[in-house]
Amino acid sequence: MHNAPSIVLAHYADLKVKELGVIADIIGGCGAGRCYFAIQPDGTVTPCVYMPDFSIGNILEDSFDYLWDGHPAMQQLKRREETECDCPYLAVCGGCRARALVYTGNLMGPDPECMFNRELYYELREKKEEFAWKS
């Protein structure tokens, strides 16, 4: 049991993200390859429903363990800090990997819509008392 105060978070709460540890891996940002993958009707697996042509294998032919942890693209997606997003909010955002792939041709490229996310961050930061509270 930890002695730190419990904090209930909403997306982009104004906290020291590095202190959040594993929580930062699951709150906010793109979950492709980190939190989920997509399975098409024929069994084709992609990191995200918005990457229908980016096959990492087939659930009918490949093991789940390989598809989830062994495929190089899935390993790469789990290392959000390796994206080319040049943003202080990388740990809680990381950008959309599908959008990065389409616009840059690079799965770990920068998300061209990042500025919209940054504006949202500042709006929510102004209202942080409404989104985060301590128990």
Question: Under DSSP, is residue 122 helix (H, G, I), strand (E, B) or coil?
Answer: helix
In a domain, 1, yes or no: no
In a domain, 63, yes or no: yes
Question: Under DSSP, is residue 38 helix (H, G, I), strand (E, B) or coil?
Answer: strand
The pLDDT score that the predictor gives to residue 40 is 95
In a domain, 116, yes or no: yes
The two three-digit tokens of residue 120, written as one number: 């949202």
In a domain, 85, yes or no: yes
In a domain, 23, yes or no: yes
Query: 52-56, 68-72, 109-113 — which is least confidently predicted?
Result: 109-113
Number of domains in the chain: 1
The CA distance from 8 to 10, in Å, is 7
Q: 88 phi and psi, to 5 degrees?
A: -70, -10
- pLDDT above 70 covers a percentage of the chain that reads 64
Provide the terminal-to-terminal Cα distance of the chain, rounded to the nearest Å. Answer: 16
**Local confidence band at 132 (pLDDT 50, 70, 90 cut-offs):** low
> To which residue do tokens 């390859």 refer?
33
The per-residue pLDDT for range 4-23, each reduced to its tens digit, is 444 434 444 444 545 555 55
Q: 114 phi and psi, to 5 degrees?
A: -55, -35
**Local confidence band at 67 (pLDDT 50, 70, 90 cut-offs):** very high
In a domain, 80, yes or no: yes
In a domain, 2, yes or no: no
Give residue 13's domain range: 7-134
